[in-house]
């Protein structure tokens, strides 16, 4: 390397969450540089984060008995319990909707696919949270090869499954609205052939939105350009998650912003619009004071059961937005806040069975019939 070279490596937030960057005026700096400066070389190697992370009370990552560690541990327990409940109940939804009395309807088919995606999301959320808690609590060595790959893969899987669940819910919401607003046309718009294509379309969307970001980052040793980085915040770190430089130039400042918009921002107004349209259409039908024909009646029942699902999803996403406001306010991603965001995700994907059971009399009846059948077996 040429003397006087200044090398800066942009770390993925996975690594930024498990390291303590040096502080200045009570706030972590976004960059930490090596102190190597010999007479033969003045090369400086720096690591940089897009956003700094810390615990609320400022304790170090290695302080496993600190209050922040205790809070994240308790949140992890809640996430594991909630996620396990979600895995069991989503599996039960699949069993009930695959029963003899429920087969043959497109709505039940879409709900069963959503349950599969929610089950995957619950499992990946548990693993994603566990990957950080294992590091914070000293169950695994932060920055070891196994720990780094566990964090990297579980986080990617969590975002991938989250997109599956969100966009599947979007398609079901659109299907419900069209079923009551244009019942006859919906039969053509959502034929069985097209309905069976929806899960594949959602899978393609999830790969499109999460694939480039997953490929743009990789786990690598902290040794770079043939020299050991003498960086204080990485003193106990052997492996880090980096962004690929060529991908950063092509994607990071342009396409990644668009992908994040489609993944995190666009679904919210979409849910609000179709929720409002569905609610208004149902209100119009009630005001007409006419008996609903069988076609409209078939469209109203799914909306009555599924609207609370979308409402609860909006509630959970509002929770994510509120918990992330502190990031924009303070410019710091508190580790407790990030774990809370993971909790909102697993809570959303664990609640559908309770909503179906409370809102759908036929679903409640078929659930008990299915459980009775299982007991006899």
How far, in Å, CA of 157 to CA of 240, rounded? 18
At residue 246, the pLDDT reads: 72
pLDDT, average across residues 177-196:
80
pLDDT, average across residues 242-264:
72
Specify the pTM: 0.88
Is residue 12 a contact partner of residue 217, using CB atoms and an 8 Å limit? yes
Is residue 35 a contact partner of residue 27, using CB atoms and an 8 Å limit? no
More confident of the two residues 155 and 374: 155
More confident of the two residues 61 and 328: 61
Question: Cα separations (Å) of 234 from 129, 227, 238, 258, 325?
Answer: 22, 14, 8, 32, 28
Encode pLDDT of 209-220 as tens digits.
898 888 888 898
Whether residue 252 is predicted with pLDDT greater than 60 in this model: the reply is no
pLDDT, average across residues 83-110:
83
Tokens 């029942």 appear where? 301
At residue 39, the pLDDT reads: 44
Give the model's confidence band at 26: pLDDT under 50 very low, under 70 low, under 90 confident, else very high. confident
Encode pLDDT of 38-76 as tens digits.
444 567 788 888 888 889 888 999 898 899 999 999 999
Which residue, among 103, 296, 259, 106, has the nearest Cα to 184 in the 3D structure?
Answer: 296
């Amino acid at each position: 390397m040429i003397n006087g070279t200044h090398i800066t490596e942009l770390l993925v937030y996975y690594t930024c969450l498990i390291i303590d960057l040096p502080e200045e005026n009570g706030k972590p700096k976004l960059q930490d540089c090596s102190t190597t400066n010999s007479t033969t070389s003045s090369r400086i190697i720096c690591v940089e984060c897009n956003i700094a992370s810390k615990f609320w009370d400022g304790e170090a990552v290695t302080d496993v008995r600190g209050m922040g560690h205790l809070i994240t541990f308790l949140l992890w327990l809640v996430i594991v319990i909630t996620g396990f409940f979600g895995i069991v109940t989503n599996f039960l939804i699949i069993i009930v909707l695959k029963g003899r009395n429920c087969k043959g309807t497109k709505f039940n088919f879409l709900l069963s696919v959503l349950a599969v995606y929610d089950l995957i999301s619950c499992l990946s959320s548990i693993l994603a949270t566990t990957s950080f808690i294992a590091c914070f609590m000293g169950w695994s060595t932060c920055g070891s090869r196994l720990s780094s790959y566990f964090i990297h893969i579980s986080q990617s899987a969590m975002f991938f499954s989250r997109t599956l669940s969100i966009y599947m819910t979007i398609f079901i919401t659109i299907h419900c609205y069209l079923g009551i607003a244009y019942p006859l046309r919906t039969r053509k718009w959502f034929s069985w052939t097209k309905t069976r294509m929806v899960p594949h379309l959602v899978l393609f969307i999830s790969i499109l939105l999460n694939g480039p970001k997953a490929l743009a980052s990789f786990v690598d040793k902290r040794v770079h350009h043939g020299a050991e980085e003498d960086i204080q915040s990485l003193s106990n770190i052997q492996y880090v998650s980096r962004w690929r430089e060529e991908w950063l130039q092509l994607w990071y400042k342009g396409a990644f912003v668009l992908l994040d918009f489609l993944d995190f921002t666009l679904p919210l107004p979409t849910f609000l619009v179709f929720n409002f349209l569905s609610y208004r259409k149902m209100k119009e039908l009630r005001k007409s004071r006419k008996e609903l024909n069988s076609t409209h009646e078939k469209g109203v029942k799914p909306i009555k059961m599924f609207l609370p699902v979308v409402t609860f999803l909006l509630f959970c996403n509002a929770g994510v937005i509120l918990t992330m406001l502190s990031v924009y306010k303070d410019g710091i991603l508190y580790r407790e806040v990030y774990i809370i965001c993971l909790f909102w995700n697993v809570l959303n994907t664990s609640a559908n069975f309770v909503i179906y059971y409370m809102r759908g009399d036929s679903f409640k009846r078929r659930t008990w019939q299915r459980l009775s059948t299982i007991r006899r077996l």
